[in-house]
Amino acid sequence: VNAPRINLSQQATTDAEGRFTFDHVPAGHLQVYCRIPMPGNPQAWSSEILQEIDLKPGQTLAVDLTAADRATTNAVTSFQPSQLKSVPGIEVKGVVLLPNGKPAADADVALQVEGKYLALGKAAFAPSGLREEGLLVSARPDGSFTLPMYEGAKSVIALNEAGYAQVSLDQLKASPQITLQKWGQVEGTLRVGHRVGTNERVVLSALQPRWSNLGLRKVGQSTNAVAITNANPLSLPSPI
């Protein structure tokens, strides 16, 4: 897809044996990371990237992750939302189809606009006022939809319980049909150092360009590298 992925943020809490599962996951290049509470402030946390994965439509992918032993971290993030500017006289139209080719009636369809927060939860868009702004609509009984055009629009995303799809505006112009792909699933286990990662918050997200700098530093260490146990070769981002 010639467009940036939307924000994907699914969270799971590991059980007594460190196991976790993410379902209703869109296919694509994703990453799994662990949320680490900041000492003395339960409302603050930092992120430790554990693994990048490639998930195919309908696939169940098993991963075995190991995080570094806990250490104090500092994280700083910022995000400046952009202002929407409509393009008069232009609309974005198409038809959403189920994986079996039938109309996807009532599927949620959203317009992705550069700099506008758009996040995906579990088989649904995360609450963010999109529908009130006209960026999110429901497909009609025949699967058709109409969205207003805005400056900076990049792609159209459609989803329901059956699946997910994202197409660029150029792809939509070439073919107005959007066929949903079946959701995948990611499951695995987490270890923290040499112990089972019990009651840990694990997050699955999409890789995408960053809006701002993210700083992550472990006190007393010169790197934020983590240990990964997996049969497949990996490529992790360089320490910041």
What are 190-204's pLDDT values in tens digits?
A: 988 889 989 888 888
Distance between CA atoms of residues 120 and 122, nearest Å: 7
Backbone angles phi, psi at 165, to 5 degrees: -155, 145
62-86 pLDDT, tens per residue?
999 988 876 544 444 444 555 788 8
Q: What is the pLDDT of residue 5?
A: 59
Beta bridge partners of 179: 97
Residue 50 region by backbone torsions, left for phi larger than 0, else alpha for psi between -120 and 50, else beta: alpha
108-164 pLDDT, tens per residue?
999 999 878 888 888 888 877 888 888 999 999 999 999 999 999 999 999 999 999
Taking all residues of the chain, what is their mean pLDDT, rounded to a whole number? Answer: 79
**pLDDT tier, 233 (very low <50, low <70, confident <90, very high otherwise):** very low
Q: What is the pLDDT of residue 35?
A: 80
Q: What is the pLDDT of residue 205?
A: 78
Across the range 17-43, mean pLDDT stands at: 82
Q: What is the pLDDT of residue 40?
A: 61
Q: What is the pLDDT of residue 91?
A: 95
Percent of the chain residues topping a pLDDT of 90: 45
- Give the pair of three-digit tokens for residue 170: 């150029």
- Give the pair of three-digit tokens for residue 223: 């790197």
Q: What is the pLDDT of residue 74?
A: 45
- Give the pair of three-digit tokens for residue 239: 């320490």
Look at residue 101 and tell me whether its pLDDT is greater than 80. yes
